Copies of this chain bind each other. A is one copy, B any other.
Amino acid sequence: MSLMELNWGAVWKGHKTRTTQQRKEQLWAPTILFWRYFKACVASRTMKHRPQHSVRNATLDDVAARCGVSYQTVSRVANGSPLVADKTRARVLEAISELNYRPNLAARRLATQRSNLIGMVGTKVTYYGPSQVMISVEESAKRRGHNLMFAALERSSDSELSAAIDSFCEHQVAGLVIAVRAKGRIDLIRKLCRGVPFVTLGAGVPPDVPTVVVDEKHGVRLATQHLIDLGHKQIAYIAGPRGWLASRDRRQAWTQTMRSAGLEPGPCEEGDWSAESGYEAAIRLLDSSSSRFTAIMVANDHMALGALRALHAKGLHVPGQLSVVGFDDLPESQFFQPPLTTVHHDFAWQGERCVEMLFRAINREAAEPTRQVQRPGLVIRESTATPSF
């Protein structure tokens, strides 16, 4: 800091004032400024050895020195406290913008013991659903003045999860959104979070853990029932990968719906959510000569796309010879060939609810309800029709 950077102008400005009070103020102002300058010099001497930032950012002290008030007053202005005289506030704000001061949130966090950061772990974020949830979480957090740290888990292993949560906690996040499989890991997660509130996305957690779930079974039931209502009796299924709760729930719902309609569940193949795996699963279904079916229920839209492609390649017409239903309702699904009948759910809603519950937990407000359920709906397009035989 150089002597010239002090706001000497403000000191001498208005020297025509009259009252003794103002005269006194004016008399001391340069001395105060100089004192602060001196202090700044001494301070900067002791930190000479520190790794120098290319441009050291202005601090509360710098601003205070600049306009001749204490750092506390500047802090008050920065935090919008009403306990500052308007005249002072204006002077401080001017100095803040002149020095381009921004608060150091790491320091604030240290002092206040709370942060405006939330963390989120997720998987498969290249997929529409998860990425949509992430965006929504980020956006909701931002609206509440918080920033998002995100970690993608590649294989969702315990060690990867531990590492991610640990580093979030080391960063002192205010809360966590756990958008990976939580079933059977709640104790692990609770331990890792060390008191930091968290919400999970997806079922399989004890009732006291705040969680947002999609009523998967309801969605699949709607879709399957739709096929049954159209007259389909033999319905095949392409499932999601093992290890995902959603896979299991959806598949179970399919079986149950078939059974309760007095029908035998048809053949089932497994994919990994990708279009490619859907293609392969469909091929396997078609190739196993023993199986006869007039419709396929697919556990997500990506795999449904692959299945559609497989059917087309095999010369089968959809929905003329075979009906297909998906799950998720991607923005693209209505442009599939043919436009896909599918189960719609609202990913943005899920993210928003997660954040809402998380903040309730962070603010220690009543945690009820701890479970938000989304009921998906069916979107009927052109990939389903009455069976032709």
Interface residues of A (CB under 8 A from B): 50-51, 53-55, 57, 100, 102-107, 109-110, 112-115, 117, 125-126, 128, 131-132, 134-135, 138-139, 142, 147-152, 154, 166-172, 194-195, 274-276, 278-279, 302, 305-306, 308-309, 312, 331-332, 334-337, 339
Contact = CB atoms under 8 A, between A and B. Distances in A.
20 contacts: A53-B195, A54-B195, A57-B194, A104-B170, A106-B107, A106-B171, A125-B131, A138-B150, A138-B151, A139-B152, A139-B154, A142-B151, A147-B149, A147-B151, A147-B167, A274-B331, A275-B331, A275-B334, A276-B334, A306-B335
A152 B171 CA distance: 21
A162 to B, nearest CB: 12
Nearest to A301: B332
Contact of A113 (B50, B148, B169): B50
Contacts of A308: 335, 337
Contacts of A306: 335
Given A142-B151, A195-B55, A337-B309, A171 B117 contact: yes
Shortest beta-carbon contacts, A-B, top 5: A337-B337, A55-B195, A309-B335, A106-B109, A131-B131
Contacts of A112: 51
Contacts of A134: 125, 150
A148 B147 contact: no
A104 B312 CA distance: 57
Contacts of A117: 149, 171
Contacts of A305: 332, 335-336
Contact of A172 (B104, B149, B312, B335): B104
Contact of A335 (B139, B151, B195, B275): B275
Contacts of A309: 335-337, 339
A114 B171 contact: no
A72 to B, nearest CB: 17
A145 to B, nearest CB: 9
Max count, chain B CB within 10 A of own CB: residue among A54, A152, A306 = A152
A174 to B, nearest CB: 11
A212 B10 CA distance: 47
B172 A105 contact: yes
Nearest to A169: B102
B138 A152 contact: yes
B100 A194 contact: yes
A106 B102 contact: no
A194 B131 contact: no
A48 to B, nearest CB: 13
Contacts of A50: 113
Given A106-B109, A106-B115, 5 more contacts: A103-B170, A117-B171, A126-B131, A126-B132, A138-B151
Contacts of A279: 335
Nearest to A330: B275
Contact of A126 (B102, B135, B194, B339): B135
Given A305-B335, A309-B336, A337-B309, A149 B148 contact: yes
A148 B138 CA distance: 13
Contacts of A113: 50-51, 53
A281 to B, nearest CB: 12
A292 to B, nearest CB: 25
A249 to B, nearest CB: 24
A102 B166 contact: yes
A335 B326 CA distance: 15
A139 to B, nearest CB: 7
Contacts of A151: 138, 142, 147-148
A230 to B, nearest CB: 23
